[in-house]
Amino acid sequence: MKAILVRSAGADFELIHREIPEPREHEVLLKVEACGICHGDALLKEGRFPGLSYPRVPGHEVVGTIAKLGSSVTTWKLGERVGVGWHGGHCCYCKACRKGDHGACPDHVVTGLSMDGGYAEYMIGRAEAMVAIPDELSSVEAAPLLCAGSTVLGALRHAGAEAGDLVAIQGMGGLGHLGVQFADKLGCKTVAISRGKEKEALAFKLGADAYIDTNETDAAKQLQVMGGAHTIICTAPSGKAMSSLIGGLAAGGKMVIVAASPEPMTVIPFAILGKKSISGWVGGSMQQSLDFAVHGKILPMIETFPLERAAEAFEKMMTAKVHFRAVLKMES
pLDDT 10s digit of each residue in the chain, 332 long? Answer: 999 999 999 999 999 999 999 999 999 999 999 999 999 999 999 999 999 999 999 999 999 999 999 999 999 999 999 999 999 999 989 999 998 888 889 989 999 999 999 999 999 999 999 999 999 999 999 999 999 999 999 999 999 999 999 999 999 999 999 999 999 999 999 999 999 999 999 999 999 999 999 999 999 999 999 999 999 999 999 999 999 999 999 999 999 999 988 899 999 999 999 999 999 998 899 999 999 999 999 999 999 999 999 999 999 999 999 999 999 999 87
Instruction: Tell me which H or E stretch contains 179.
Output: helix 176-185
Helix (H, G, I), strand (E, B) or coil at 126: strand
Domains of the chain: 2-146+285-329 (3.90.180.10), 149-280 (3.40.50.720)
Number of H helices, E strands in the chain: 10, 17
Q: Which tens digits make up the pLDDT trace of 201-259?
A: 999 999 999 999 999 999 999 999 999 999 999 999 999 999 999 999 999 999 999 99
Gap between the Cα atoms of 308 and 329, Å rounded = 10
Strands 302-305 and 277-280, sheet pairing: unpaired
Q: Looking at residue 260, what is its pLDDT?
A: 85
- Nearest Cα neighbor of 325 from 118, 173, 152, 137 is 173
- Contact assessment for residue 282 and residue 256, using Cβ atoms and an 8 Å cutoff: no
Q: Hey, CA dihedral for 122, 125, 129, 135, is it positive or negative?
A: positive
Q: Looking at residue 280, what is its pLDDT?
A: 95
- Nearest Cα neighbor of 258 from 169, 164, 144 is 169
Gap between the Cα atoms of 102 and 257, Å rounded = 21
Q: Looking at residue 292, what is its pLDDT?
A: 97
Q: Looking at residue 262, what is its pLDDT?
A: 83
Gap between the Cα atoms of 131 and 288, Å rounded = 10
As beta bridge partners, residue 61 has 36
Give this prediction's pTM: 0.95
Q: Which tens digits make up the pLDDT trace of 283-306?
A: 899 999 999 999 999 999 999 999
Gap between the Cα atoms of 238 and 234, Å rounded = 9
Gap between the Cα atoms of 76 and 81, Å rounded = 10
- Contact assessment for residue 299 and residue 293, using Cβ atoms and an 8 Å cutoff: yes
What angle do helix axes 286-296 and 148-159 make, rounded to 10 degrees?
Answer: 90
Long-range contact list for 19-22, CB < 8 A, 24+ apart? 20/122, 21/116, 21/122, 21/123, 21/124, 22/68
Q: Looking at residue 103, what is its pLDDT?
A: 84
Strands 249-257 and 277-280, sheet pairing: parallel
